[in-house]
Amino acid sequence: MKTLSENKCFGGVQGVYSHASKATNCDMTFGLFLPQEAKFGSVPVLWYLSGLTCTHENAMVKAGAQSWAAQQGIALVFPDTSPRGEGVADDDDFALGQGAGFYVNATEQPWAPHFQMWDYIAHDLPSLLFNNFALDEEAQAITGHSMGGHGALTLAMAQPDRFASVSAFAPITSPTTTDWGQVQLAAYLGEDQANWHRHDATLMMQERGFDGPVLIDQGASDQFLANLKPEALSHAMAARRQDGVFRMQAGYDHSYFFVSTFMEDHVSFHAEALYGLS
């Protein structure tokens, strides 16, 4: 692991690190905010998965999350959204390839050699983090924006003992039925739609749900509503009687101005679940 930068921030440290990932078979970069409490012992950790076109950096500089995480004594992890670098496949479409890993393990060419973002977030990066930083593996929560909201929800429901709580900002909720999803799932996983199933948050909500609280925020003026399909997840949450809150926020769009507006609520929501564990 290599330290690329460390900046003091809200009493803690905002670091950027790179490491050779076994999952993606290339170097990966991530951001990690450690609150000052991490000097004295392990702290809870909130994962933030980013959306299409983002690197580890976007949320780290634009979401304003460190302020609230510092107040709550919680660490923040900002992974990249795909493998990158020479020899890693890419596509002209911004919604496929580098910057658009969709948090799946690709089985198809040319993606399979590196696009193993599910394993990266589910196993590889956690293993690195809990071995190298003062983070409490027993106190994890997860959130994300857009494609990252999709990743947060599908990972949380598939790893039921790992996360105390899950939230999302404007998540892609139904990738098996929308433009942001069908193209990518076919490219990464092949045409057999049985393999897409566990990567659809709405289908997973219908089948399994989440054993903890769920918080979803969606802007009513989001320019990508047709690709996000919030009504699918909202319906599935209510039909399942899922412990959760789905909030439609009048006037907000898909930008980080929306994400940062509601970040305090999300960090507080996760803090309540995380500290309830101990």
Under the binding rule (CB under 8 A), the answer on residue 248 touching its own copies is no
Under the binding rule (CB under 8 A), the answer on residue 255 touching its own copies is yes
Smaller CB distance to its own copies: residue 53 or 67? 67
State CA 190 to chain mean position distance: 23
Under the binding rule (CB under 8 A), the answer on residue 195 touching its own copies is no
Smaller CB distance to its own copies: residue 15 or 101? 15
Smaller CB distance to its own copies: residue 62 or 123? 62
| Residue 10: CB minimum distance to its own copies, A | 5
| Residue 166: CB minimum distance to its own copies, A | 24
Three-class SS of residue 6?
A: strand
Helix (H) or strand (E) holding 4: strand 2-9
Under the binding rule (CB under 8 A), the answer on residue 252 touching its own copies is yes
Per-position x/- string for 28-67, each x denoting binding to its own copies as judged by CB under 8 A, each - no binding: ---------------------------------xx-x-xx
Long-range contacts of 10-18 (CB under 8 A, 24+ apart): 10/35, 10/66, 10/67, 10/69, 10/70, 11/35, 11/36, 11/70, 12/36, 12/38, 12/66, 12/70, 14/60, 14/66, 16/56, 16/57, 16/60
- Report the residue from 48, 246, 258, 269 that binds its own copies according to the rule CB under 8 A: 258
Residue 198 Cα distances to 67, 103, 133, 173, 248, angstroms = 34, 11, 31, 12, 25
Q: Measure the CA–CA gap between 144 and 117, rounded to whole angstroms.
A: 14
β-bridge pairing 26-34 and 12-21: antiparallel
| Residue 14: CB minimum distance to its own copies, A | 5
Q: Measure the CA–CA gap between 100 and 148, rounded to whole angstroms.
A: 10
Residues 207-226 that bind its own copies (CB under 8 A): 219, 221
Which stretch in 10-18, 20-28, 92-100, 229-237 sits in contact with its own copies by CB under 8 A?
A: 10-18
Per-position x/- string for 259-278, each x denoting binding to its own copies as judged by CB under 8 A, each - no binding: -xx--x--------------
Q: Check if the beta carbon of residue 13 is closer than 8 Å to that of residue 6.
A: yes
| Residue 96: CB minimum distance to its own copies, A | 26
Q: Which of 21, 50, 82, 146 is catalytic?
A: 146
| Residue 121: CB minimum distance to its own copies, A | 25
Q: Measure the CA–CA gap between 180 and 32, rounded to whole angstroms.
A: 28
Report DSSP state, residue 121.
I
Q: Measure the CA–CA gap between 45 and 16, rounded to whole angstroms.
A: 16
- The residues annotated as belonging to the active site are 146, 222, 254
Q: List residues binding its own copies (CB under 8 A).
A: 7-11, 14, 61-62, 64, 66-67, 219, 221, 251-253, 255-258, 260-261, 264
